[in-house]
Amino acid sequence: MEQERLHPEATGELSNLLYDLCLAAKIISRQVRRAGLTDVLGEFGAINVQGELQQKLDVFAHDTVRHSVEHTGRVCVVASEEEEHPIPVQVRDDRRSGKYVLLYDPLDGSSNIDVNVSIGTIFSIHRRSATKRGPGSLEDCLQKGRAQVASGYILYGSSTMLVYTTGQGVHGFTLDPTIGEFLLSHPDIRSPDVGTYYSVNESHWNKWSPGMQRVVAAFKNGDSGRVAAKNARYIGSLVADIHRNLMSGGVFLYPADSAAPQGKLRLLYEAAPLAYVVEQAGGAAIDGTRAILDIKPTELHQRTPLIIGSKSDVAFAQSMLAQG
């Protein structure tokens, strides 16, 4: 609301959309916190002991976000990592069709869901661009990260935190479960210029290019004054790994490899929204050569290699990779 006041032309719609996402986050957080107690763990489609169909937590999160935004008239299309195609938002009256596009990863870090390790929700908001009225289209979703009007994540960790940017810095809110509200706990988060940590799944070492092996070796062992040796931390939940590095300084890498030449992570649901947050906090994010935010997507579920975090560390990786 403070930032909205800096824009006299603002209608409040974006703030309200962020509130809608906060509501979804609270519902998902409640479910994540009770995950071991309720029948939300396990395979989607499995029958639980009561003979009811179990709902997997990531499907629950997908539905919760979607239902929190689709009746508000604020969004024209949503796209989720859980769905193959974008979901156009139908409205009875064309004049009430929303002006925003919402892309989201409902529950990132799925391999950690069933083992009680931090997971997160990632969101990316664009203005509609390809269509003017009625439901939005695939083209509305395929915009460069640089065009985002807001992005952020909700981390279900030792506490539940919302971290977001609208292009005026990065702000963190912690959910106070006693009053059910997100309270501003981390205003104006800044990413340290040089990181303490490097985060990468080193089990893929043999599949990386020689250039990437040199980058990771330099972060591990140091490189004659150009970069100091770092400590390793890898949770395997992107949101949690990025959040730690954002707060403490560090670089996260998910490179392309011989088995996944485009990398693993999704440009629109993971890399671009997190890149916007990290850049706004003073860090950087590249695919090896280009800024993530400058990549024009051609597919909804497009993948990208990702190197993201403290600015000097990302620049170091980029310069080493440029040497081949």
Query: Least distance in Å: CB of 203 to ligand FDP?
Result: 8
- Asked if 108 is part of the footprint of ligand FDP (rule: CB under 6 A), the reply reads yes
Query: Least distance in Å: CB of 266 to ligand FDP?
Result: 7
Kind and range of the H or E run holding 67:
helix 57-69
**14, 256, 265, 286: which one binds ligand FDP (CB under 6 A):** 265
Instruction: Count CA atoms closer than 13 A to 184's CA, side-chain side.
Output: 7
Strand, helix or coil at 6?
Answer: coil
**CA 292 vs CA 22, 146, 295, 303: distances in Å:** 26, 9, 6, 11
**32, 189, 238, 284: which one binds ligand FDP (CB under 6 A):** 238
In 3D space, the residue among 269, 205, 277, 276 whose CA is nearest the CA of residue 234 turns out to be 205
Taking the alpha carbons of 205, 191, 122, 144 in that order, is the dihedral positive or negative?
negative
Query: Least distance in Å: CB of 237 to ligand FDP?
Result: 5
Query: Least distance in Å: CB of 168 to ligand FDP?
Result: 27
**111, 159, 168, 221: which one binds ligand FDP (CB under 6 A):** 111
- Closer of 19 and 234 to ligand FDP (Cβ): 234
Return the bridge partners of 285, or none.
308
Question: Which stretch in 31-39, 102-110, 126-134, 221-229 sits in contact with ligand FDP by CB under 6 A?
Answer: 102-110
The Cα 256–Cα 321 span in angstroms is 12
**109, 135, 263, 305: which one binds ligand FDP (CB under 6 A):** 109
Query: Least distance in Å: CB of 205 to ligand FDP?
Result: 12
Binders of ligand FDP in range 143-202 (CB under 6 A): 201
Query: Least distance in Å: CB of 114 to ligand FDP?
Result: 10
**237, 245, 310, 318: which one binds ligand FDP (CB under 6 A):** 237
With b for 16 or more beta-carbon neighbours within 10 A and e for fewer, the 151-166 pattern comes to bbbbbbbeebbbbbbb
- Asked if 258 is part of the footprint of ligand FDP (rule: CB under 6 A), the reply reads no
**Which residue's structure tokens are 């977001």?**
164
- Asked if 263 is part of the footprint of ligand FDP (rule: CB under 6 A), the reply reads no
Binding-site size, ligand FDP (CB under 6 A): 12
- Asked if 16 is part of the footprint of ligand FDP (rule: CB under 6 A), the reply reads no
**236, 299, 315, 322: which one binds ligand FDP (CB under 6 A):** 236
What string marks each residue from 112 to 131 as x (binds ligand FDP by CB under 6 A) or -? x-------------------
Question: Which stretch in 28-36, 138-146, 231-239, 284-292 sits in contact with ligand FDP by CB under 6 A?
Answer: 231-239
Contact 238, 108 (CB under 8 A): yes
Angle at 260 between CA 255 and CA 262, to 5 degrees: 65
Strand, helix or coil at 308?
Answer: strand
In 3D space, the residue among 148, 149, 150, 152 whose CA is nearest the CA of residue 297 turns out to be 148
DSSP 8-state secondary structure symbol assigned to residue 205: G
Q: At 232, give phi and psi (nearest 5°).
A: -95, 140
Q: Which residues bind ligand FDP (CB under 6 A)?
A: 108-112, 201, 236-238, 264-265, 270
